[in-house]
Each structure stands twice: as C-alpha cells, then as structure tokens.
Structure 1
Amino acid sequence: MAFIDFSDAALQVLPNPVDYPLSSLTEMEQRIVALARADGLQSLKPVRKRGWLARLILGPTPPSPMLANEQMEALRRLAVRAWHHGYTLSASALAEAREAGYSDAKIGAVIDAIGRSREPFRSIAA
C-alpha cells in the first residue's frame, strides 16, 4: 500500500503560522498562550497544601501556577490542553472557555494558531 504525503501541499494552501497571528486576542492573551506552551498537564490540577511532615521533608508548598484573573486562567487552561492534545480537545475544555466569556471564534483562533505552530506528528512506522 502506498503512502501519499500531503504535508507539503497543506503548507502551500494554508497560511504560514507566522503570517497567521492571533489578531483577535490582546497582547496579554497572546502572552498567556505562548507561556502555556511550557506548562504541563499537571499545572491544571489544583495545588494541595502540604502536611507538616511533607513540609519538613520537601519544604514549603510551591506557588500555584494558576493566574489570579479567572478569564485569563480559563484561557491558560485551554491553551495548555491545546498544546498537549492539539485539535482533539474535550467538550468540557471548550465549555469552560465559553463560560469564562470567550466566543467560539476566539476559542477557534487560539486552537487553530496552536495547532499550526505545533510540531507535526511523525509516525514511527515507515
């Protein structure tokens, strides 16, 4: 069975990620999307306070990666999930961003921009 690589054709049809900025987002929102690239999925879980024995052995509880602004935190959570899962986001992730006040167009722009700037998936099989 033959394999046809359409990645070159897709790059010619789709605009370059550099030419496709997140123009619908503010500068602060663009920074949050960029910073979310370094965050792991563990940053989505709430930080629990350490008990006295854990504080004695491991030290004080580390600072929480959550943002103080609820709307910006929802954007960060959406961006973290998009950086790790690409276009295959759960419906609850999209609903959380909608509840924070983001429109479907803005959510789509974030996910699309992240999807275009992610590394393409390479199969191990030849």
Structure 2
Amino acid sequence: MAFIDFTDAAPEALPVIPGRSAQDARRNQAVSALSDLEQRIVELARADGLETLRPQRKRSWLGRLILGPQPISPELANEQLEALRRLAVQAWHKGYTLPVSAVREAQAAGYSEAQVGAVIDTIGRMRAPFRRLAA
C-alpha cells in the first residue's frame, strides 16, 4: 500500500508574498492566521483531556461536604476562544480525524476556514508521528 505525505502540501498552496521566500511563508503560515493569544490557547489545549469538553456538573451539598469545593471549570470565559480551545483539544487527541461538529462550531464562533485549517495543520505537524507496530 502506498503512502502519500501531505504534510507540506498546504503551505505550497498559499500565495508567496513579494520579498519573502516560500520557506518563510511556510514557517509563518499559522502565525499570520492566528493571533498570539490564539496560538497560546492552541498550545495550552495540548495538556487538556477530552473530558474537559463535557459540561461540568454541579456537586450536591453532600458531594461538597465529602469531596470539597467545586473544582475550577476548564472552560474559557470568551466564547470565541472557548470554541478554538475545543477544536484544539479534539485535534490534539484525534488528529485529522476530528468530528465535523468541532470544525462547524469553530466556524460559527467566527473563525474562517483558513484559520481552522491552520490550527489543524499546525497541530498535525506538532503531534508525534504514527508508528506501526508490525510491518
């Protein structure tokens, strides 16, 4: 079975800005698509688990008595950044096979298709490569 490596396909499709080389354009692809704060959210989402995507239940009085106070919610206060965090968490855990609902949620929050693609491609490049157990 053949394997086609598409890791460098997306930067080649981008237009080259005059005065910059194609390699500089590849390096700065995600930088131009996302702000510094948004890049930081994507990096922080790496440590979050899939359980942070579920809504947090309130503890009853008995639960607070036994287990202590309610833990801090992992959700962000800004809805747009929370949609980006949700997309990034799923991309870190599922790679390119993340559900379409995550992409739609990010687009509904105001991110363009190019920005969503840049997030997914950036995470895909930073993830550990797939290793085969048997040949």
TM-score of Structure 1 vs Structure 2, range by shorter chain: 0.7 to 0.9
Structure 1 runs, 4 residues or longer, greater than 6 Å off: none
CA RMSD of aligned residues (A): 2.3
1:19 match: 27
The runs of 5 or more residues in structure 2 that have no matched partner are 12-22
Decide which of 23, 34, 37 is 2:46's aligned counterpart. 37
Q: Which has the higher contact order (CA 8 A, sep 6+)?
A: 1
Tell me the secondary structure at the aligned position of residue 30 of structure 2: coil
Matched, 1:64 2:64: no
Identity percentage of aligned residues:
62
User: What do residues 6-64 of structure 1 show as CA deviations (whole Å, max 9, x unaligned)?
Assistant: 69xx59x8389x93552110000000000000000000011111011111111111010
**What are structure 1's unaligned runs of at least 5 residues?**
none
Q: Hey, what does 2:106 align to over in structure 1? A: 97
Correspondence for 1:75 among 84, 95, 101: 84
Higher helix proportion (structure 1 or 2): 2
Q: Secondary structure at the match of 2:27?
A: coil
- In structure 2, distance between residues paired with 1:19 and 1:101: 24
Q: TM-score, normalization: structure 2? A: 0.79
1:51 counterpart = 2:60: yes
In structure 2, what is the equivalent of residue 119 of structure 1? Answer: 128
**Contact 2:91-2:120 at 8 Å conserved across structures:** yes
TM-score scaled by length of structure 1: 0.84
